[in-house]
Amino acid sequence: MLNFFQKINELKKRRDLSELKNKMMIFIVFNKSINI
């Protein structure tokens, strides 16, 4: 999981927002599937 956040931080530095949104969507869906 830590690796995931490291990747997000790298994306923020590059300001690659579309990539960041995709990662966040995956993360949100992943979280919801765990919570169910």
The closest of 22, 17, 19 to 30, measured between CA atoms, is: 22
How far apart CA 35 and CA 6 sit, in angstroms, is 23
The terminus-to-terminus CA distance of the chain in angstroms comes to: 19
Q: List per-residue pLDDT tens for the chain, 36 residues long.
A: 678 888 878 877 776 677 778 888 888 888 888 775
- Which pLDDT score is estimated for 1? 61
- Which pLDDT score is estimated for 2? 74
Q: What is the pTM of this model?
A: 0.40
How far apart CA 36 and CA 27 sit, in angstroms, is 15
Q: Domain residues of the chain, as ranges?
A: 2-35
The closest of 24, 21, 18, 19 to 5, measured between CA atoms, is: 24
DSSP assignment, residue 8?
Answer: H
- Which pLDDT score is estimated for 32? 87
- Which pLDDT score is estimated for 16? 64
- Which pLDDT score is estimated for 34? 78
